[in-house]
Amino acid sequence: MAVQRLDKVLASTGKWSRREVKMLVRQGRVLVDGVPAASPEQKVDPDAVQLCVNGEEIAYRRYTWLMLNKPAGYLSATSDGRGATVLDLLPQELQRLGLFPVGRLDKDTVGLLLLTNEGGLAHDLLSPRHHVDKVYRVRVTGCLTEEDCRAFAAGMVLGDGTVCQSAGLEILQAGEESEALVTLREGKFHQVKRMFAQRGKPVSYLERIQMGKLTLDPALSRGTFRFLREEEVEALRNNS
């Protein structure tokens, strides 16, 4: 891998800001191959050196993967003149890593959103060819029935002629307001909302709770994120 500034490499782990790295380097607490780092701007090849901070070896990852619990009111985009994006929920040092959302959730949709700078895997996860299931918890106005389940399973054709693949609909609660889980293998524009609109039961709440084998971490409150663990990234790789 190409050489990079030491402060950039360490800040990309999300543990320290660049300012904190500067301080750690000044205090002699950052070792590069066992030797105290000369400066935060020192160039290192993170794949080829051993980095220790406060006596602990740093496992450097070439790519960054984050799980975000998206709140309502944020756009799934990297920059947008029209309002706040999900990147605004990250600290400055992570905003500099070229992260982008893996697929889109509508502005009012909440829940599991992955962010990464690994383009290839992100692309695979979104491709319908790779059959990565996305599961949504949904609340609709109107009473969901077995007929709705059959319509979802059959593959719906939307009003504008858009053909949807077979989708799962599991009714959790049926009444004037109903709740259900929806499983999709694709991600067409406003797909869940349009499918329910077609059945005459508009969506009032939409939350993504699962993508492939990854489920939304219950420890993450809305608007917070965490790094994916190595084995979680591996699971995505094997699923895609």
Q: Which is nearer to ligand URA, 6 or 167 (CB)?
A: 167
CB of 206 to ligand URA, least distance (A): 6
The pattern of x and - marking residues 139 through 178 that bind ligand URA according to CB under 6 A reads ----------------------------------------
Q: Looking at this protein, which amino acid is placed at residue 176? A: E
Would you call 80 a catalytic residue per the annotation? no
DSSP state of 12: T
CB of 66 or CB of 167, closer to ligand URA: 167
Spot the catalytic one: 106, 108, 124, 133: 106
Q: How many residues bind ligand URA (CB under 6 A)?
A: 8
- Is residue 206 part of the contact set for ligand URA (CB under 6 A)? yes
Give the angle 199-202-208 at the CA atoms, nearest 5°: 105
Residue 192 near ligand URA by CB under 6 A: yes
Q: Does 190 bind ligand URA (CB under 6 A)?
A: yes
Alpha carbon distances (Å) from 69 to 58, 66, 135, 229: 26, 10, 14, 16
When the beta carbons of 10 and 113 are compared against ligand URA, the nearer one is: 113
Among residues 125, 13, 18, the alpha carbon closest in space to that of 64 is found at 13
Residue appearing with tokens 């508009």:
202
* Beta strand spans in 10-152 (E): 30-32, 35-36, 43-44, 51-53, 56-57, 65-70, 100-101, 110-116, 134-141
Residue from 12, 116, 178, 191 that binds ligand URA (CB under 6 A)?
191
- Of 42-50, 61-69, 104-112, 147-155, the segment contacting ligand URA by CB under 6 A is 104-112
* Residue numbers 106-135 binding ligand URA by CB under 6 A: 106, 109
Specify the residue, 48 or 163, whose C-beta has the smaller distance to ligand URA: 163
Within 10 Å of residue 140's Cβ, how many Cβ atoms?
25
Q: Which residue has the tokens 């400055």?
A: 92
The nearest distance, CB 172 to ligand URA, in angstroms, is 18
Nearer to ligand URA by Cβ, of 34 and 82: the residue is: 82
Torsional sign, CA 13, 18, 19, 21: positive
Closest C-alpha among 5, 236, 6 to residue 121? 236
Binding site for ligand URA (CB under 6 A): 105-106, 109, 190-193, 206
Residues with catalytic annotation? 106
